[in-house]
Structure 1
Amino acid sequence: MSVSFFDLCQAIQKIRETRGTNAKIKICSDLFSSISSSEKLDLAAQFLGEGAFSAVSGKRALVGSRTAGLAASEFCEIDYDLVYKPCRTATGSNSEAIERLLENVPEAIQKREPVQLSLMSVNRYFHRLQEASSRADKIEILKELWRQMTPVEVKYSLRMLGQGSLRIGFESRSTLSAIASAFGYDREEVRYVHMITGSIGKTAVLAKEGRLGEAEFRLFHPLSFMLATPIESRKVEDLSAYVGEEKFDGMRAQVHFSDSKTLIYSRDLNEISRSFPEVKAFFNRRNLPDVVLDGEICVYSDEKIQPFQLLQKRMGLKQPSKKIREELPVLFIAYDLLYVDDKPFFEKSLIERRERLEELSLRFDLPVTNQFEVSSFDQLDEWFKRALAHGNEGLMLKKKESRYEYGQRGKSWLKVKKPGGTLDTVMMYAHAGSGKRGGLYSDFTLGVSVKHDERYEEEFIPIGKAYGGYTDEELKRLNAEIKKLTVERYGPTLGLLPGLVIELEFDDIQVNRRTKAGYTLRLPRFKRLRWDLSPDDADTLKDVEMLYQQRVEKERRVQGNNPSFYYKSKETEE
């Protein structure tokens, strides 16, 4: 079967509108099994599961929301500030807003002549966008592409260019399950091949051609990270099956080293080596064997792990200045070993991985976490208090006999944390849910008050998005109240009058200059619905700024005795 880009987007939209994971997997499986060409299957799986470019390609299109919005404004012949921006705010989504505009604006309808582009043709456009150096050039390429597309193709092509989730309730784990179903393989076998190849497209082709057994691990492509589950969601009956370590207030990273070459990857599998030249220099000075390490990058000075907010000042800097490196020195602290001695280690138990990691630490002076035995919840509480005193987020409990469960959030790693704080926020927008909540508004944009803030003309501005934390009955009541407060409707999003107050729990506050507030909340979630409060009781942006400053200035204990990690030399890296 010849599958066009339109066919792929129709399948993606059908997956979004379908309830139930198994039903979604069947739609995707049927699509994959119908594609006769390996080249087309590679692209279809890549576009659906990874985005415009393979995760291991190192390529990014760098088409931001402003570039896409300006292209849409020109294409639709509308004013960017007066028309486009309110539409984007109302929908809560750049791609949704552009889809709706192309569907409804007469000037845009007249310009579009959809031609059922092939997957290869769209791939060429993606590469042209990646190679274009100026915003003006990217806008012209986008307009050229959109003339040949339907609105649903435009929406999903933009999401693919973002290299993130397509937001259809169907993540990479489900895509891999669909590959397994389409070509008659065990899901774990497919997941393993994806982990060692790093490419969903290549994994699909190997499965189609019956060559999964040919896949081999190679250095310098990032591996999917193992994830942790909050301890609250799992009852732990036998603490002795776990070891503990402090959960750092840093940035998760993976280091690949071979023959004096070091590459560093972030949790979203992007290469970030240039942002942290000290880490590269640290590894390049050591005569290590080929190795892949999982760990955390932290700002470390005065024998203290400094706040994440300070690390954030370095994130995204491609070439940090000498002054920045001196003011905010970073250190990579390892806590797991994935590859060494010319062979993968992720299938071995945590105990085996840890023994080999500690040998490397002693021989080559690598910073490695301090692990400790936990025999009771009273002892766990003491370790937790010590972690907080060090300025860390909490604790990790790791099952001793577990293998490295790449890309999974399972029961083998548990995180013990307490919320960073709460804010009373006002619901500003309600977004239609998907899956089992497809008939209800279940995703929400929450805001803080700026009505007495001379910097703003509005009464409330967004501070974060959240969903969950409510019962089915509370969600039904929420939806009933939302109908009374709706003042504008645009696609799947409702704009609301101030009326509903949500106590929002979060892990941390981060600076984000791209937002109106200048801050975003890290992992926001509902704590409770405050039916007893009015919008006048909501917290303010100045409250957010005060909380942020308190976190930055919080006193932290030096590592001293019982440190959270071991590092013998404490050398200064240039």
Structure 2
Amino acid sequence: MDLPVMPPVKPMLARSAAQIPPGMQYEGKWDGFRAIVFRDGGEVEIGSRTGKPLTRYFPEVVQALAAALPPRCVVDGEIVIVRGSRLDFDALLERIHPADSRVRLLAERTPASFVAFDLLALDDVSLMDTPLVERRRALVEALGEAPTGPVHLAPATTDLETARRWFDQYEGAGLDGVVAKPLDIGYRPDERVMVKVKHERTADCVLAGFRFHKSGPVVGSLLLGLYDGQGRLQHVGVCASFPMRRRQALVEELEPLRMESPAGHPWASWADEEAAAADRMPGAPSRWTGKKDLSWVPLRPERVCEVAYDHMQGGRFRHTAQFRRWRPDREPRGCTYAQLEEPVRFDLADVLSGPNG
């Protein structure tokens, strides 16, 4: 492979904001694996956000990219899986598997797609220093003959009102929110020069345990639960962003709730790896965490906290929730999935048929 921009390249990043800023290019925030694709003739390599290759995990995407992209190019985008009319991140996670036979089986059962949204190089020319408005124009031209199947061009607009409408509508198709990109800057790897605006909602959750922080005997994350329709407490995620002084204080504050063992705890079956994985318990093994310590301290599920979250995926918070406050006025049994706001469904096909200019 011999391209004007060679792997690995870390993608350009975004910082969070509460409002969509004016005067930028706007796109949906895709909920998938960020991927930078390098194609040089018959060679295709897919780099992840960390620079590690994703190529072996998505053979069907490699094949589609070889058919759709220009012969020599570097493209920034997102690998996604669509089920029904919306994105499915859980299905995407299943694709990171060590067994090649499993990867190829899932490539047939749950094929992935690639959504392109930036062009870093074309033929023998690097576009890294080219303003976004020109890179976008070149990307549209380069993918003009791309099929409507596994390779897509991300819709983009410079109209603020359209971006606001997308922010409301696209969540129903599984997107995270909206990304705003400055029109006049080049591509800046690993720099937070874009702006992301995500949905935020609140939920009252049962505190059912915690993990210690990697730095020592202070709280690292709180384990959160919600009761389902059968009265079972389901693990829905964690909240973890605390100042160090607060982490230290939480250990003492939660001491009265600590249990000597998981026996009698709603998640006592976490020690059984198969049961833990099936119910997504906090002690379940993970291909992503490897040998990371996933041990946790069980707490009597008697305290309720309010957390902020962006959206749900497969019955869990898609990202780490943000602690807001304790809710001593709430009963744990009242913390159910029924309180969660459901976005209005929106067909992903309508997202991908948006403006491409």
- TM-score, normalisation: structure 2: 0.70
The match for 1:528 is 324
Q: How does 1:264-279 map to 2 (within 5 A)?
A: 264-279=46-61
Q: Secondary structure at the match of 1:285?
A: helix
Cα gap change, 1:521 to 1:454, in 2 (>3 Å): closer
Distance 1:250 1:341 in 2: 27
Distance 1:475 1:561 in 2: 42
Q: Secondary structure at the match of 2:220?
A: strand
The match for 1:387 is 170
Query: Which structure is higher in strand share?
Result: 2
Shift of 1:360: 0.9
Q: Is the 8 A contact 1:255 1:263 kept in 2?
A: yes
Q: Does 1:228 align with 2:8?
A: no
Amino acid at match of 1:444: S
Distance 1:296 1:336 in 2: 10
Aligned residues with identical type, % of pairs: 22
String of CA shifts for 1:433-465, please: whole Å, max 9, x gaps. Answer: 86xxx9x9452231426799798xxxx775433
Q: Secondary structure at the match of 2:196?
A: strand
Name the larger-Rg structure: 1
Distance 2:181 2:93 in 1: 27
Distance 2:67 2:352 in 1: 28
Q: Is the 8 A contact 1:448 1:538 kept in 2?
A: no
Distance 2:196 2:222 in 1: 27
Distance 1:470 1:537 in 2: 29
The match for 1:425 is 206
Gaps of 5+ in 2: 262-294
Distance 2:119 2:53 in 1: 19
Distance 1:388 1:526 in 2: 20
Shift of 1:254: 1.8
Distance 2:355 2:128 in 1: 22
The match for 2:307 is 504
Distance 2:351 2:321 in 1: 36
Q: Does 1:464 align with 2:246?
A: no
Q: Secondary structure at the match of 1:397?
A: strand
Cα gap change, 1:367 to 1:531, in 2 (>3 Å): closer
The match for 1:211 is none
Q: Is the 8 A contact 2:29 2:179 kept in 1?
A: yes
Distance 1:287 1:461 in 2: 43
Q: Is the 8 A contact 2:157 2:163 kept in 1?
A: no
Amino acid at match of 1:529: R
The match for 2:157 is 372
Shift of 1:418: 0.9
String of CA shifts for 1:309-343, please: whole Å, max 9, x gaps. Answer: 34444443744577754553322111012233334
Shift of 1:484: 4.5
Over the aligned positions, Cα root-mean-square deviation in angstroms equals 4.3
Q: Secondary structure at the match of 1:297?
A: strand
Identify which of 254, 259, 262 aligns with 2:44.
262
Cα gap change, 1:327 to 1:229, in 2 (>3 Å): same
Query: Which structure is higher in helix share?
Result: 1
Identify which of 346, 353, 357 aligns with 1:556.
346
The match for 1:296 is 78
Distance 1:227 1:361 in 2: 23
The match for 1:482 is 254
Q: How does 1:68-467 map to 2 (within 5 A)?
A: 219=6, 221-232=7-18, 239-240=22-23, 242-286=24-68, 288-300=70-82, 304-316=85-97, 318-319=100-101, 324-325=106-107, 327-362=109-144, 367-375=152-160, 379-408=162-191, 410=192, 412-419=193-200, 422-429=203-210, 431-432=212-213, 441-448=218-225, 463-467=236-240
Gaps of 5+ in 1: 1-215, 512-518, 568-574
Q: Secondary structure at the match of 2:78?
A: strand
String of CA shifts for 1:239-273, please: whole Å, max 9, x gaps. Answer: 01x11111223322221111211122333333222
Shift of 1:479: 5.5
Amino acid at match of 1:381: R
- TM-score, normalisation: structure 1: 0.46
Amino acid at match of 1:401: D
Q: Name which structure has the greater RCO, CA cutoff 8 Å, separation 6+.
A: 2
Amino acid at match of 1:481: E
